[in-house]
């Protein structure tokens, strides 16, 4: 599972800001590492682009959908919806709080939306609950592995608009 | 914050400015560039303000006239009379023409406009020209739009007393990604950086979300979710959206749209009044242009009157010996435009179906755009939604631009102490995006009405034994058949190790970010070669030719076969 999470990023040629920063100086990559340990989700990305493989092991513990939405297992549909909206306001790339902090790059919102899609659908939620209680430590139902990359959301990267 | 890692010469200007403004965010202005009329609005720190031009207009006609060699647009130029716009020197309806090839029926229906739209019907861009001193001077829809946007930009800069660079532009739902690049191109020509291209009804949805927020504060009303159906029909396009709104967050549940609008109604009526119109006007001589202008103005006038009264007398002397004296009543008008109204009905029903919303659950029906005044259209939409009244807290002609200005403030990172900008629109993709696989079939990877930002992937396999290369051909559209969708681009993945067909696993991944940039990447699931990643669209116009050339060159040798979701992993 670790392999399938990180492989696409290792293979791709990418001039991401983080990659560049880590090349620029060791101080930067150290701070990046310490940041990565604070936020296990985020480390998945940096592990492949810049920092030491030691970090990689930490991210394999994926949060349950309830943890993603920060709600209880027995939350009502209304609570789930409210949680989704309030998280969207923080993590959606359009909102002011996310565009100025480094802690969200849109990938978080995709995760949140996926969790919401599953938990707001009664049938899918029941199946997911079943998979949780079965204690399967594997990939939980409906929770697609997040294969993402860093520095993605600044709109312009190195490519020009090729369609001119 | 993060400096661009890599700067290309053509980008340097934009990026340089962005950096300097990052400490103090510039509020992006909202522009609604309409087929017939345009408007500009901006968040002024406490509310949305519509900007007015020197003639105190907040709705400005969308045209550019080339009369005196120096082009001037409808923002600054005062038409002496409507006929002046129809003299052949002015280009209008750019929004209907931009990013279309000459086999497109919409381009063909533009051929009896007073300026020249010439088609060769081979799938290239049409020849567009304005009559300047008795010479057809060629131009492009992008150029015309850019000239117009320069005027809008100057207008905004005078008002705001600062340079304006960032814009949020509203666009029709049915625009292809190729058309979006043409809009971006025109903006770049005008020195504007596009922060967001926002489908018109979603801009209206954002304004609605703000009004609901205010409503809640004022009345201490319930903060429960409200479902709104937004129907927007202007001169060029018709769009429908269904949005679920609560707490200032508007989630777009479904979008549908089509190139149908007031222009089609006008053309139908002109044909009705003068059945051999197409033959009469095809030559585009000076006299024909004049008669065409006269007929157009008279018909337009009659249509407007028919929204208020049940019948109208049309009297027009076309100057070439033919006169039209006719009484047209509303029943006749509705019969002539049956196809338009049927299309509207289809769009509304499709949107409701895609959103999985029952009409009983729709709290508000919002009708905006110039055509929302037409009684038949009002009745039709309200009828489907089983309600008597529409939402009346919006000006139907400026709702979209107000929403765009709100988005401009929100996406620029502005926050408001009173929470008026505590808003968010969660967008959805209007069209399926997929690749060619299973022979000549369109296999969607991101389905329409998927929440953005989004990332989806599918697994494919080879169609032949020992196939070492595969072609990824990316299309966008709603149609089952590949040819009827828009080709966005293509690339080849190489170095697939020799294996029997069906064995190699090839992952195709599509990623749309919050600013609607699409990237497609592909490679083997267990990579032996680097993944390929391509920002789409890559093809220019004449895309029909590219698809044909690919088939001619490679046939089915580089084909892919889709692997059902059940079989994956």
Burial of B180 (0-12, 13-18, 19+ CB in 10 A): buried
Contact B527 A82 (CB under 8 A): no
Q: Residue B162 pLDDT > 90, yes or no?
A: yes
Contact B424 A153 (CB under 8 A): no
Contact residues for B234 (Cβ-Cβ < 8 A; gap 6+): B34, B35, B36, B200, B261, B262, B369, B370, B371
Instruction: Identify whether B414 is part of a domain.
Output: no
Peptide bond into B436 cis (omega under 30): no
In A, which residues are within 8 Å of B414 by CB distance?
96
CA distance B316 to B162: 48
Contact residues for A48 (Cβ-Cβ < 8 A; gap 6+): A6, A9, A10, A56
In A, which residues are within 8 Å of B530 by CB distance?
11-13
User: Which among B298, B321, B338 is the end of a domain?
Assistant: B338
Query: Among residues of chain B, what percentage have pLDDT more than 90?
Result: 67
Looking at the structure, tell me whether residues A27 and A106 fall in a common domain.
no
Give residue-wise pLDDT tens across range B38-94. 999 999 988 999 999 988 999 999 999 998 778 888 888 888 888 888 888 999 999
Instruction: Identify whether B404 is part of a domain.
Output: no
Give residue-wise pLDDT tens across range B105-137. 999 999 889 999 999 988 888 999 999 888 999
Instruction: Identify whether A158 is part of a domain.
Output: no
Contact A92 B426 (CB under 8 A): yes
Mutate to test the interface with B, among A111, A156, A158, A160 (most CBs of B within 10 A): A156
Taking a C-beta distance cutoff of 8 angstroms, is the pair B554, B471 a contact? Answer: yes
Contact residues for A142 (Cβ-Cβ < 8 A; gap 6+): A65, A114, A117, A118, A124, A127, A128
Mean pLDDT of B381-396: 94
Q: Give me the CATH number covering residue B221.
A: 3.30.420.40
Looking at the structure, tell me whether residues A55 and A68 fall in a common domain.
no
Instruction: Report residue A60's pLDDT band, with 50, 70 and 90 as the boundaries.
Output: very low
Looking at the structure, tell me whether residues B439 and B542 fall in a common domain.
yes
Helical ranges in B274-337 per DSSP H: 277-281, 286-306, 330-336
Instruction: Report residue A106's pLDDT band, with 50, 70 and 90 as the boundaries.
Output: low
Contact residues for A55 (Cβ-Cβ < 8 A; gap 6+): A33, A36, A37, A43, A46, A47
Could you give the ipTM of this predicted complex?
0.79
Instruction: Identify whether B416 is part of a domain.
Output: no
Contact B249 A88 (CB under 8 A): yes
Contact B453 A147 (CB under 8 A): no
Looking at the structure, tell me whether residues B249 and B266 fall in a common domain.
no
Looking at the structure, tell me whether residues A50 and A67 fall in a common domain.
no
Instruction: Identify whether A27 is part of a domain.
Output: yes
Looking at the structure, tell me whether residues A85 and A146 fall in a common domain.
yes
User: Which among A60, A78, A110 is the end of a domain?
Assistant: A60
Looking at the complex, does the CB of residue B23 fall below 8 Å from at least one CB of chain A? no
Q: What is the pLDDT, as a whole number, of residue B11? A: 41
SS (H, E, C) B416-477: CCCCCCCCEEECECCCEEEEEECCCEEEEEECCCCECCEEEEEEEEECCCCCCCEEEEEEEE
Looking at the complex, does the CB of residue B5 fall below 8 Å from at least one CB of chain A? yes
Contact A156 B15 (CB under 8 A): yes
Looking at the structure, tell me whether residues B19 and B166 fall in a common domain.
yes
Looking at the structure, tell me whether residues B453 and B561 fall in a common domain.
yes
pTM score, whole prediction: 0.83
Looking at the structure, tell me whether residues B288 and B368 fall in a common domain.
no
Q: What is the pLDDT, as a whole number, of residue A101? A: 46
Contact B410 A95 (CB under 8 A): yes
Mean pLDDT of B278-296: 85
Q: What is the pLDDT, as a whole number, of residue B82? A: 80
Instruction: Identify whether B119 is part of a domain.
Output: yes
CA distance A64 to B457: 22
Picking from A69-78, B167-176, B237-246, B389-398, which range would have the lowest pLDDT averaged per residue?
Answer: A69-78
Q: Residue B268 pLDDT > 80, yes or no?
A: yes
Q: Residue B17 pLDDT > 60, yes or no?
A: no
CA distance A62 to B499: 34
User: Residue A92: which domain range?
Assistant: 62-150
Contact A96 B414 (CB under 8 A): yes
Mean pLDDT of B3-23: 43
Instruction: Identify whether B493 is part of a domain.
Output: yes
Residues 157-216 of B with CB under 8 A from A: 178, 181, 184-185
Q: What is the pLDDT, as a whole number, of residue A24? A: 36
User: Which among B157, B178, B196 is the end of a domain?
Assistant: B196
Instruction: Identify whether B403 is part of a domain.
Output: no
Instruction: Identify whether A159 is part of a domain.
Output: no
Taking a C-beta distance cutoff of 8 angstroms, is the pair B460, B508 a contact? Answer: yes
SS (H, E, C) B205-244: HHHHHHHHHHHHHHHCCCCCCEEEEEEEECCCCEEEEEEE
CB atoms within 10 A of CB B58: 17
Instruction: Report residue B224's pLDDT band, with 50, 70 and 90 as the boundaries.
Output: confident
CA distance A150 to B7: 18
Residues 338-377 of B with CB under 8 A from A: none
Q: What is the pLDDT, as a whole number, of residue A18? A: 42
Q: Residue B1 pLDDT > 70, yes or no?
A: no
> Which of B463, B451, B455 has the alpha carbon at shortest distance from B501?
B463
User: Residue B300: which domain range?
Assistant: 262-338
Please tell me the total count of domains within chain A: 2
Contact B15 A160 (CB under 8 A): no
Contact A94 B414 (CB under 8 A): no
Looking at the complex, does the CB of residue B447 fall below 8 Å from at least one CB of chain A? no
Instruction: Identify whether B401 is part of a domain.
Output: no
Q: What is the pLDDT, as a whole number, of residue B541? A: 63
Contact residues for B314 (Cβ-Cβ < 8 A; gap 6+): B273, B298, B299, B302, B324, B325, B326, B327, B328
Q: What is the pLDDT, as a whole number, of residue B409? A: 92
H/E segment holding residue B85: helix B82-85
Looking at the structure, tell me whether residues A71 and A123 fall in a common domain.
yes
Contact B529 A113 (CB under 8 A): no
Across the A:B interface, residue pairs with CB atoms under 8 Å apart total 135
Please tell me the total count of domains within chain B: 4
Q: What is the pLDDT, as a whole number, of residue B285? A: 86
Looking at the structure, tell me whether residues B315 and B441 fall in a common domain.
no
Looking at the complex, does the CB of residue B531 fall below 8 Å from at least one CB of chain A? yes
User: Which among A12, A43, A60 is the end of a domain?
Assistant: A60
Instruction: Identify whether B407 is part of a domain.
Output: no
Mean pLDDT of B540-559: 80
B537, closest residue in chain A (CA to CA): A163
Instruction: Identify whether A92 is part of a domain.
Output: yes
Looking at the structure, tell me whether residues A83 and A52 fall in a common domain.
no
Looking at the structure, tell me whether residues B360 and B249 fall in a common domain.
yes
Tell me the three state secondary structure of residue B562: strand
A94, closest residue in chain B (CA to CA): B411
The alpha carbon of residue A137 is apart from the nearest alpha carbon of chain B, in Å, by 16
The alpha carbon of residue A11 is apart from the nearest alpha carbon of chain B, in Å, by 5
Q: Give me the CATH number covering residue A146.
A: 1.10.287.110
Q: What is the pLDDT, as a whole number, of residue A48? A: 37
Selecting from A102, A156, A161 the residue whose C-beta is nearest the C-beta of B181 gives A161
> Which of B512, B436, B450, B516 has the alpha carbon at shortest distance from B479?
B436
User: Which among A38, A60, A82 is the end of a domain?
Assistant: A60
Instruction: Report residue A103's pLDDT band, with 50, 70 and 90 as the boundaries.
Output: very low
Give Cα B289 distance to the centre of its chain.
Answer: 29
Q: From residue B475, give the alpha-carbon distance in Å to each of A3, B98, B308, B330, B484.
A: 30, 19, 44, 42, 10
Q: From residue B231, give the alpha-carbon distance in Å to each of A94, B255, B315, B471.
A: 24, 10, 33, 40
Looking at the structure, tell me whether residues A75 and A35 fall in a common domain.
no
Looking at the structure, tell me whether residues A79 and A55 fall in a common domain.
no
Looking at the structure, tell me whether residues A16 and A69 fall in a common domain.
no
The alpha carbon of residue B424 is apart from the nearest alpha carbon of chain A, in Å, by 7
The alpha carbon of residue A121 is apart from the nearest alpha carbon of chain B, in Å, by 12
The alpha carbon of residue A79 is apart from the nearest alpha carbon of chain B, in Å, by 12
Looking at the structure, tell me whether residues B437 and B300 fall in a common domain.
no
In A, which residues are within 8 Å of B529 by CB distance?
11
Looking at the structure, tell me whether residues B98 and B190 fall in a common domain.
yes
Looking at the structure, tell me whether residues A28 and A71 fall in a common domain.
no
Looking at the structure, tell me whether residues A66 and A53 fall in a common domain.
no
CA distance B569 to B458: 11
Looking at the structure, tell me whether residues A72 and A133 fall in a common domain.
yes
Contact B531 A11 (CB under 8 A): yes
Looking at the structure, tell me whether residues B38 and B94 fall in a common domain.
yes
Instruction: Identify whether A106 is part of a domain.
Output: yes
Q: Residue B19 pLDDT > 80, yes or no?
A: no
Taking a C-beta distance cutoff of 8 angstroms, is the pair B179, B207 a contact? Answer: no
Q: Give me the CATH number covering residue B312.
A: 3.90.640.10
Instruction: Report residue B330's pLDDT band, with 50, 70 and 90 as the boundaries.
Output: very high
Looking at the structure, tell me whether residues B374 and B287 fall in a common domain.
no
Residues 242-301 of B with CB under 8 A from A: 246-249, 251
Mean pLDDT of A18-23: 38
Strands (E), chain A: none
Q: Residue A157 pLDDT > 60, yes or no?
A: no
Instruction: Identify whether A161 is part of a domain.
Output: no
Looking at the structure, tell me whether residues B57 and B186 fall in a common domain.
yes
Contact B529 A164 (CB under 8 A): no
Contact A89 B10 (CB under 8 A): no
Q: From residue B538, give the alpha-carbon distance in Å to each of B25, B174, B293, B510.
A: 31, 19, 39, 15
Mutate to test the interface with A, among B1, B3, B5 (most CBs of A within 10 A): B5
């Amino acid at each position: 599972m670790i392999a399938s999470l990180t492989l696409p990023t290792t293979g791709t040629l990418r001039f991401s800001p983080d990659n560049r920063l880590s090349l620029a100086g060791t101080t930067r990559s150290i701070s990046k590492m310490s940041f990565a340990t604070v936020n296990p989700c985020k480390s998945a990305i940096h592990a492949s682009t810049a920092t030491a493989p030691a970090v990689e092991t930490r991210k394999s513990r994926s949060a349950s959908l309830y943890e993603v939405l920060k709600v209880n297992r027995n939350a009502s549909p209304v609570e789930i919806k409210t949680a989704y909206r309030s998280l969207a306001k923080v993590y959606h790339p359009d909102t002011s709080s996310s565009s100025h902090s480094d802690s969200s790059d849109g990938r978080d919102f995709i995760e949140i939306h996926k969790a919401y899609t599953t938990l707001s659908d009664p049938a899918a939620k029941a199946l997911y609950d079943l998979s949780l209680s079965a204690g399967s430590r594997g990939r939980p139902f409906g929770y697609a592995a997040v294969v993402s990359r860093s520095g993605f959301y600044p709109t312009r990267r190195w490519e020009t608009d090729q369609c001119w | 914050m993060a400096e661009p890692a890599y700067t290309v010469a053509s980008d340097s200007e934009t990026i340089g400015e962005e950096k300097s403004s990052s400490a103090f965010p510039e509020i992006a202005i909202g522009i609604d560039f309409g087929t017939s009329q345009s408007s500009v609005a901006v968040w002024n720190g406490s509310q949305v303000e519509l900007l007015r031009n020197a003639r105190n207009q907040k709705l400005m006609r969308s045209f550019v006239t080339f009369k005196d060699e120096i082009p001037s647009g409808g923002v600054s130029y005062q038409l002496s009379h409507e006929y002046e716009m129809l003299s052949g020197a002015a280009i209008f309806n750019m929004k209907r023409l931009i990013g279309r090839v000459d086999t497109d029926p919409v381009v063909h229906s533009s051929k009896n406009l007073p300026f020249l739209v010439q088609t060769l019907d081979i799938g290239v861009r049409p020849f567009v020209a304005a009559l300047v001193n008795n010479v057809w001077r060629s131009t492009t829809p992008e150029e015309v739009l850019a000239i117009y946007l320069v005027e809008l930009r100057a207008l905004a800069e005078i008002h705001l007393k600062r340079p304006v660079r960032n814009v949020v532009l509203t666009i029709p739902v049915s625009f292809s990604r190729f058309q979006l690049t043409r809009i971006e191109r025109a903006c770049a020509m005008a020195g504007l950086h596009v922060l967001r291209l926002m489908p018109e009804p979603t801009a209206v949805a954002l304004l609605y979300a703000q009004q609901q927020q205010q409503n809640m504060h004022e009345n201490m009303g319930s903060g429960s979710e409200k479902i709104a159906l937004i129907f927007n029909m202007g001169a060029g396009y018709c769009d429908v959206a269904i949005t679920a709104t609560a707490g200032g967050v508007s989630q777009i549940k479904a979008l549908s749209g089509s190139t149908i609008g007031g222009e089609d109604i006008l053309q139908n009526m002109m044909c009705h009044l003068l059945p051999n119109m197409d033959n009469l006007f095809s030559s585009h001589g000076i006299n024909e242009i004049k008669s065409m202008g006269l007929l157009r103005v008279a018909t337009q006038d009659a249509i407007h009157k028919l929204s208020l009264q049940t019948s109208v007398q049309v009297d027009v002397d076309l100057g070439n010996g033919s006169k039209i004296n006719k009484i047209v009543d509303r029943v006749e008008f509705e019969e002539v435009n049956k196809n338009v109204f049927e299309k509207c009905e289809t769009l509304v029903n499709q949107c409701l179906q895609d959103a999985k919303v029952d009409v009983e659950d729709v709290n508000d029906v919002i009708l905006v755009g110039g055509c929302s005044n037409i009684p038949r259209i009002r009745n039709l939409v309200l009828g489907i939604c089983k309600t008597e009244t529409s939402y009346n807290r919006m000006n139907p002609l400026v709702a979209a631009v107000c929403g765009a200005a709100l988005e401009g403030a929100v996406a620029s990172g502005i926050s408001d102490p009173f929470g008026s900008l505590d808003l968010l629109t969660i967008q959805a993709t209007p069209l399926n995006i997929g690749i060619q696989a299973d022979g000549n079939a369109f296999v969607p990877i991101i389905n329409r009405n998927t929440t953005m930002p989004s990332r989806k992937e599918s697994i494919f396999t080879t169609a032949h034994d020992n196939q070492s290369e595969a072609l990824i051909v990316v299309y966008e559209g709603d149609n089952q058949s590949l040819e009827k969708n828009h080709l966005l681009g293509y690339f080849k993945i190489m170095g697939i190790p020799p294996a029997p067909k069906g064995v190699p696993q090839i992952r195709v991944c599509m990623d749309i970010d919050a600013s609607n940039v699409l990237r497609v990447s592909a490679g083997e699931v267990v990579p032996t070669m680097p993944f390929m990643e391509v920002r789409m669209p890559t093809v220019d116009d004449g895309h029909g030719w590219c698809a044909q050339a690919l088939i001619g060159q490679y046939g089915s040798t580089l084909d892919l076969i889709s692997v059902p979701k059940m079989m994956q992993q």
